[in-house]
Amino acid sequence: MVLYGADGCHLCERARAQLAALREELGFELDEVDVGGDPELEARYREWLPVVEIDGERAFVYHVDEDALRRRLGARSRAPRSAS
């Protein structure tokens, strides 16, 4: 899971705090990316911050719906895994 945010973004701070608490509960990996100063990331994410992506897919913008995240991660953990 990736959280895209920026310095001074109060919604990003809220999302970060929510994800930190949920991470303890659900045990997922979280990477954080600051879009500030990177023109490509700024163009892609700035108007939507914070953005949470799960497995490369945009899952949440502006806020994190905790119940929806629980459902989504629960469904992912129940999905059949391909044999390697």
Q: Mind listing the pLDDT tens digit for each residue in 53-64?
A: 999 999 999 999
Looking at residue 56, its pLDDT comes to: 94
Q: Which two tokens stand for residue 63?
A: 């806020």
pLDDT in tens, 11-50: 999 999 999 999 998 999 999 999 999 999 999 999 999 9
Pairwise CA distance, residues 3 & 23, whole Å = 12
Instruction: Give the chain's end-to-end CA distance (angstroms, integer).
Output: 22
65 phi/psi in degrees, rounded to 5: -85, 105
Q: What pLDDT is attached to residue 84?
A: 47
Peptide bond into 50 cis (omega under 30): yes
Note the pLDDT of residue 74: 84
Residue 62 is predicted with a pLDDT of 97
Angle at alpha carbon of residue 48, lines to 31 and 52, rounded to 5°: 25
pTM (2 decimals)? 0.85
